[in-house]
């Protein structure tokens, strides 16, 4: 996601690492320079808005042919 998208995140929003459903987390805090994410694996990370490129708000959906 972009810096502007990251800055607009609210507490309680679910996010996904590289769009993977298995790698999701919840935004637990926001500040002027970063967000705090509680990941499903028990880890908590503080990620700066400029470092949110690998994090998405929607999971990737599998392509069916």
> What percent of the chain is predicted at pLDDT more than 70?
94
Residue with tokens 């700066």: 48
Residue 61: pLDDT over 80: no
Q: What is the pLDDT of residue 9?
A: 97
Summarize the confidence of residues 33-42 as an average pLDDT. Answer: 97
pTM given for the model: 0.88
Q: How many CB atoms lie within 10 A of CB 17?
A: 16
Q: Which of 16, 11, 9 is nearest to 29 (CA)?
A: 11
pLDDT at 26: 98
Is 65's pLDDT higher than 70?
no
């Amino acid at each position: 996601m972009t810096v502007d998208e990251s800055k607009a995140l609210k507490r309680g929003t679910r996010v996904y690492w590289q769009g993977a459903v298995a790698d999701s987390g919840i935004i637990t805090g926001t500040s002027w320079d970063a967000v705090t994410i509680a990941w499903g694996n028990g880890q908590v990370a503080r990620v700066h808005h400029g470092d949110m490129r690998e994090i998405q708000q929607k999971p990737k959906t599998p392509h069916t042919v």
